[in-house]
Structure 1
Amino acid sequence: MDEVYVESEFAPLRTVVLARSEVAIPVSAATSGDSRFLAEGWQRNPVGKDMREGAPERQAAWERERDRFREVLEAHGVRVLRPRRLSDQEKAEAGEDGYANFFARDPFFTIGDQVIEASMRFRHRRREVLPVRDVLLDHVLPAQCGYVALPMPETPEPGDATLGRGPFLEGGDVLVLGSHVFVGDSGLASNRLGARWLAKYLAPHGYTVERVRLHEQILHLDCALGLVREGLLVVCEEALLDGVPPILRDWDRVPVSLEKATALATNGLPLDQGSYITDPAFADVGERLAARGIHVEYVDFSITRSLGGSFRCSTQPLLRRD
């Protein structure tokens, strides 16, 4: 039977779900403020059609990025699970909303021995949990762990730029540090109601949930803050409206600018307390981590990053513990 447990962001990574590379960006993304979190150059991705059809060479390069990432994970002894691909019917039902199956971090998340299906804000991502369900049914349902889903978000009124009350709660906003859980809120993804739901659900399990307010250009908390090992973090302090959370204020910090945070400089992936994966675009971050005794590996993730996520976004652990 599979073991399911996530102790922290930097406990040894043993089993992880690695995302597929499927997306059809809705036309509305190009005309609304909801694209403000994306780094410059995201427009190179086709809008209104599947990447595979609109930019086949870019699609192939995107898949090679993920394949190389998988090779690095497996070289470190990590067991890698993959969601299935979206079906033709799922794509057809999405219609003008578009669809996504590209960042496994967000449609579900793992806290301790609790696996929780998320509630996604963007319309093109609301079905994103479906292709990962087979992984959850095969590896989570039989395990000795909890498995629940957030309430379905309510339907917004026409023209409601907030997309309704939610509750919205996405895995990229959830960082685990033992019994302390951080939840980001920028207005683009998770919201206060989602954080309240999580706090209520986790309280009987002994967890404290802390909401972290984010700059409006930041999609998720892991785009502003990364916990590398006990006592060491990568952070964009400008993106944290109330400053670094009190429990982390004595930690050593590798700072990054808001511009680099938008490009995903904080979204590397710790494999354990001594190893970390990032993009060569952030060699300066890697060098500062290496100076602190971290072994850093580099994988070019430029296409993945152009879609708003990087290494942490592309993965969701099922087992992280000593």
Structure 2
Amino acid sequence: MLKLHIKNETARLRAVILGTAESNGPIPKIEDCYDPKSIQHVLEGTYPTEADMVLEMEAVAAVFKKYDVKVFRPEVIKDCNQIFSRDIAFVIEDKIIRANILPNREKEIRAIQYVWDQVDSNNRIILPEECHVEGGDVMPWNDYIFIGTYSGEDYPELITARTNMDAVIAIQELFPNKTVKPFELRKSNTDPKENALHLDCCFQPIGKDKAIIHKNGFLIEREYEWLVDFFGKENIFEIAKDEMYDMTSNIFSISEDVVVSEKNFTRLNNWLRNHGFTVEEVPYAEISKQEGMLRCSTLPLIRD
């Protein structure tokens, strides 16, 4: 049996599901894309190749091996994009919660069934159908659970709106001892620089008390300001619109002082090193063309 344990984003990682880029399928048609950034790259002829994405993911797998992290991979489904394992489920405390994701992604969940089956059945949670949620919007942070959401009336028209208030309420009911803090995110089906697909596309805690944040990703300024106050201005790395577009907030913590980051994030990586972090740099620029990065392609199962 797998004894799940996740209290926050940065405690020492022991076990994780890392997605796979194998048999990723052909370049998608515009109408089959899930986000504006993928659409842009399909239109421009710069959509990433499977070979490049496999190399990028193997670089991450090598870092996990170096730190002695147990890595599970999804079963490979032919012609299916299975990179973003964070979308399909997430762990809080000792529970794994299945994401109610876009209906045409159901088979991705079946590919990690063998992991799901290793968890005590009482700790496997499937939320009611009306609760929409993806793991990129959910961040356990000790006594808090931060959740990105969108409650605008145009929610049904926005393929980029992935987590609704029904899910926020359901998660609060599951964890009554936690403070669930929702944040309204800025959404756009057409402009990737005005779209925070998930909370981790514009914010992420790192270390013990620091965070990366992009102000414009938040629809309500006081919610952004709450986070700045919570972490303290001196502990915040503020990213610009172009850096959000490049997914600079979407790095991944192996521990409180070790992070995996994209090698081109020079400004961030220098800041991290200056603040005492060990930065494991990997190439991930191709995968980021699909509006997802390192946090999106990992599903932590056990942290100390």
TM bucket, shorter chain: 0.7 to 0.9
Aligned to 2:175: 202
2-structure distance, mates of 1:311, 1:117: 20
Residue 233 of structure 1 contacts residue 254 of structure 1 at CA under 8 Å; is this kept in 2? yes
Aligned to 1:230: 208
Please point out which of 117, 140, 147 is paired with 2:98. Answer: 117
- Per-residue deviation, 1:213: 0.7
- Per-residue deviation, 1:194: 1.7
- Per-residue deviation, 1:197: 1.8
2-structure distance, mates of 1:125, 1:26: 16
Residue 212 of structure 1 contacts residue 245 of structure 1 at CA under 8 Å; is this kept in 2? no
Of 240-249 and 311-320, the range deviating more from structure 2: 240-249
Residue 82 of structure 1 contacts residue 135 of structure 1 at CA under 8 Å; is this kept in 2? no
2-structure distance, mates of 1:210, 1:124: 29
1:176-231 C-alpha deviation (Å, 9 max, x unpaired): 1113101102452111122122122222xx22211111111110000111111121
2-structure distance, mates of 1:245, 1:125: 35
One-letter identity of the residue aligned with 1:254:
F
**Secondary structure at 1:233's aligned position in 2?**
strand
Identity of aligned residues (%): 22
RMSD over aligned Cα atoms: 2.2
Aligned to 1:241: 219
Aligned to 1:211: 182
Residue 41 of structure 1 contacts residue 306 of structure 1 at CA under 8 Å; is this kept in 2? yes
1:94-153 C-alpha deviation (Å, 9 max, x unpaired): xxxxx5322111110000111111101x3432432111111211x3247xx61111223x
Please point out which of 124, 128, 131 is paired with 1:151. Answer: 128
TM-score, length basis structure 1: 0.80
C-alpha change, 1:67 and 1:257, in structure 2 (3 Å) is same
Aligned to 2:158: none
1:127 aligns with 2:104: no
Residue 18 of structure 1 contacts residue 82 of structure 1 at CA under 8 Å; is this kept in 2? yes
- Per-residue deviation, 1:247: 5.9
One-letter identity of the residue aligned with 1:185:
T
- Per-residue deviation, 1:37: 5.2
**Secondary structure at 2:100's aligned position in 1?**
coil
Residue 39 of structure 1 contacts residue 262 of structure 1 at CA under 8 Å; is this kept in 2? no
Residue 148 of structure 2 contacts residue 183 of structure 2 at CA under 8 Å; is this kept in 1? yes
- Per-residue deviation, 1:285: 0.6
One-letter identity of the residue aligned with 1:207:
K
Q: Which runs of 5+ in 1 are unaligned?
A: 47-54, 92-98, 153-165
Aligned residue pairs, count: 279
One-letter identity of the residue aligned with 1:117:
R
Residue 174 of structure 1 contacts residue 221 of structure 1 at CA under 8 Å; is this kept in 2? yes
- Per-residue deviation, 1:248: 5.4
1-structure distance, mates of 2:42, 2:169: 33
- Per-residue deviation, 1:38: 5.0
Residue 42 of structure 1 contacts residue 307 of structure 1 at CA under 8 Å; is this kept in 2? no
